[in-house]
Structure 1
């Protein structure tokens, strides 16, 4: 039988192995770490954000800063609804949460890991852990894979290594072009008196812009010990990953904490002032933010918390609203978002045939997962790309 070697025991590698026809192939997974499926384990805080409830491929690709054009045809063949059906057929119940992220009913990533391990066991897939690939050599009609555990011969290689520098260098040595990887999905490091001792304060909907890049995003926002996080920050970090790397992660952002236009906020303030003139400004609930944050806004605006709202001058009101709706903050660095490290960059997409994820450079060589220059915002989208790409490879190899 023909030998398939899958290099990389992560999401894409295991999904591909789970869908291959074991009657046609001998299948081996090589994983350099002692455990397989490590990113699956930590995803979604250990619950595994399997995919996202977005079932129209044209809408789905909008969540991918890189790879959106190429993935349209891939998602037309296998999309989140197909992922849900695949797990359902294997008696894994999935649930759609309010924000459309999809998790196993068990709330445990181990459910997903066990499903994959059961599938590959049924197919007699050999898994070799602590097996580090040193070199891949193209022979006449096969590949010789030199590893820390000896040599392997492959008729077909499925390359699902993730985006480690070593794996990118190895595929570059085989002739592929690499788009230099940079971090995506990261939080912003900010030191500012506005946020001192307010870690954990969240905003249901905020707007963030990076004026120098003429870009903006909106969504939930969170103050952390290091600065700002939450979907609004993560989205803008993903879409501007390459530009922010060029800026060495030093830039200025403008934040609208209440996602309300300045003039509209002014009208809301004036109305409140007319209706409750005797209230003290410190105890006034004018906007949908926490009392602690409101009082901090007043402190940095140098407003006496005990001042009656009727006595707030037009100039003072402007200052409060500037800090609430147009607050400029200096970003000086980034932090990884939890353990879910994602990169922009990888194998150049022009060198991939997206009908079956085969290399245009190397015969009988298939590439999927984060090693490609494809990445998405947070919410299960990166996994969905892995499932869809891997499924295409398996379908192709099952029919040739």
Structure 2
């Protein structure tokens, strides 16, 4: 027996729910369903932002906002002029969820719980009469242009659906990408984005938990990044590293995650300047022990570790530093070389670079350029962002534009 709907959205995540709610709010007569393959909806929303849900980012200028997207920067400019972070705040406020801005610009519900966002979405779908159908893994999609019918046909393992307009909001789901390739769509091969670096190195082995602002670059590439770096049990994480992993997703994948990085612990001070600063300190602190206290904004334990790595014994006084030791230390501070050997997933917030080729989508409507009445929302397309609420903003914006178009 075929179940009929005006619109079906495949994927019960952030993009799917936001799209469905916006469609029915604008057009209450439409019969709309969300199909979710799992037993639960909105699972990624639940765990995002450490269970707090990083809804968006306090960057309100579309031309600035697009700079946080390694893939999709050009394509999102128009959409962000229609629905940007400020519109997101307003939308959630209208739906009873107040957001707050944290120091680093990330925005969370005032409740500090992702459950607030989930409840907001579930309440809205109930109120609007949107069917949320779980345990519906799509097995095949039949295109009306091929079958000669005037509707899309979707088969799950236990149901058949007929639908006028089909929206795919399935994130990084290889099975759906495969089905789209059979319909002639090009899929950019997915590779991981947003990951941390595995590094075994005596200088940082005893320092998990130490965080400090740095600049980092990857040897033999143009990849650079700056921001807080966090030393972990397995190597390095924090915004500086995650940004590098997003911008370098393809390059680092091609290197099989074996590469060399240079870390400047003094951020924007170069080696020559550092050498001069150390010479001045040698005069100023002649009688003090070098390793004892960091004269820079570098954590004391990290400072001691870099001093020892510069062949300066732990009891050495500033006055006794040789020219070579000063050069060594200036190098360690501004140009520390680390070998990266593999990656680790960042929390559960797995993001991929890859998806539907952006050339095949009309970004004024989010409709496929190849097939009528087929639309995309969220991460199914080849768009991804660095960490900080930007991937969700792409979900909200694409959902809003799609709902408007429909």
TM-score if structure 2 supplies the norm length? 0.95
- Give the one of 206, 211, 218 matched to 2:214: 206
1:269–1:286 contact (8 Å) kept in structure 2: no
Question: Does 1:170 find its partner at 2:179?
Answer: yes
- Give the one of 298, 309, 313 matched to 1:304: 313
Deviation at 1:2, TM superposition (A): 5.5
Q: Which residue of 2 aligns with 1:37?
A: 42
SS of 1:162's equivalent in the other structure is coil
Deviation at 1:110, TM superposition (A): 0.4
- Output aligned runs, 1:342-357, within 5 Å: 342-357=351-366
Deviation at 1:239, TM superposition (A): 0.7
Q: Which residue of 1 aligns with 2:13?
A: 10
Query: What are the Cα deviations for residues 66-92 of structure 1, in whole angstroms up to 9, with x where unaligned?
Result: 111110000000000000000111121
2:197–2:235 contact (8 Å) kept in structure 1: yes
SS of 1:281's equivalent in the other structure is coil
Moved more, 128-137 or 299-308: 299-308
In the alignment of these two chains, the number of paired residues is 396
Query: What are the Cα deviations for residues 305-334 of structure 1, in whole angstroms up to 9, with x where unaligned?
Result: 111110011100111121121111111111
- Give the one of 342, 351, 368 matched to 1:359: 368
Structure 2 distance, partners of 1:67, 1:48, is 22
Q: Which residue of 1 aligns with 2:247?
A: 239
Deviation at 1:134, TM superposition (A): 0.4
Structure 1 distance, partners of 2:96, 2:378, is 25
Question: Does 1:385 find its partner at 2:390?
Answer: no
SS of 2:220's equivalent in the other structure is helix
SS of 1:214's equivalent in the other structure is coil
- Give the one of 284, 288, 297 matched to 1:279: 288
- Output aligned runs, 1:48-127, within 5 Å: 48-127=53-132
1:268–1:286 contact (8 Å) kept in structure 2: no
1:250–1:330 contact (8 Å) kept in structure 2: yes
Structure 2 distance, partners of 1:80, 1:60, is 9
Query: What are the Cα deviations for residues 213-250 of structure 1, in whole angstroms up to 9, with x where unaligned?
Result: 12211110011111111111111111111111111111
Q: Which residue of 2 aligns with 1:254?
A: 262
SS of 2:112's equivalent in the other structure is coil
- Output aligned runs, 1:316-331, within 5 Å: 316-331=325-340
2:223–2:247 contact (8 Å) kept in structure 1: no
Q: Which residue of 2 aligns with 1:340?
A: 349
Question: Does 1:20 find its partner at 2:27?
Answer: no
SS of 1:383's equivalent in the other structure is helix
Question: Does 1:221 find its partner at 2:221?
Answer: no
Question: Does 1:370 find its partner at 2:379?
Answer: yes
TM-score if structure 1 supplies the norm length? 0.97
2:287–2:318 contact (8 Å) kept in structure 1: yes
Structure 2 distance, partners of 1:129, 1:265, is 59
What is the RMSD computed on CA atoms of the aligned residues?
A: 1.2
Task: List alignment gaps of at least 5 residues for structure 1.
Answer: none
